[in-house]
Amino acid sequence: MLYSEKVMDHFQNPRNVGKMDDADGIGEVGNAKCGDIMKMYIKVSNGVITDVKFNTFGCGSAIASSSMATEMIKGKPIDEALQLTNKAVAEALDGLPPHKMHCSVLAEEAVRAAVKDYYDKNGIAYNPEDFRENSCAHCHE
């Protein structure tokens, strides 16, 4: 079986799908190679992510990864969400096939882009190092 049950579950029943009209931060990222696009919305209150929504125009693994990522950052302090790695997302999904790891990278990047947007909109200082382009050549194959 190529995909774990968790991947199939999050693909078929994605959590937190949709648009958020009053989002505090929005991140949109894409992978030029496969053409998949992911949009992540966060609602922040007192430094905590109180709500998350996403829209993914992409493959099943990208949908499953974004769904899992929203579950992993919901209710978490914003700086903790920033620590979310694509590896942690893939692990929470009980693994992704190697050629699908880049789909989880998209989820990590979307979360980071949404946090950056929130910081920018609210004039909150941050370390640009935290928002470096992901340089993992393997994941971006």
Nearer to ligand FES, 77 or 134 (CB): 134
**Active site (annotated) includes residue 139:** no
Nearest approach in angstroms of CB 37 to ligand FES is 9
Segment 84 to 103, residues that bind ligand FES, using CB under 6 A = 102-103
Closest by Cα among 60, 21, 57 to 41: 21
Nearer to ligand FES, 24 or 66 (CB): 66
User: φ, ψ for residue 3 (rounded to 5)?
Assistant: -115, 140
List, in sequence order, every residue forming a beta bridge with 27; answer none if it has no partner.
Answer: 40
Q: Which long-range contacts (CB under 8 A, 24 or more apart) does 127-130 make?
A: 130/82
Among 61, 67, 70, 86, binds ligand FES (CB under 6 A): 61
Nearest approach in angstroms of CB 86 to ligand FES is 11
List the Cα angle 135/137/138 in 5-degree steps: 130
**Per-residue x/- track, 12-31, ligand FES (CB under 6 A):** -------------------x
Contact call for residues 39 and 96 (beta carbons, < 8 A): no
Among 62, 72, 96, 115, binds ligand FES (CB under 6 A): 62
The two tokens of residue 8 are 């199939």
Whether the CA torsion 77, 79, 82, 87 is positive or negative: it is: negative
Interacting residues toward ligand FES by CB under 6 A: 31, 34, 36, 58-59, 61-62, 102-103, 106
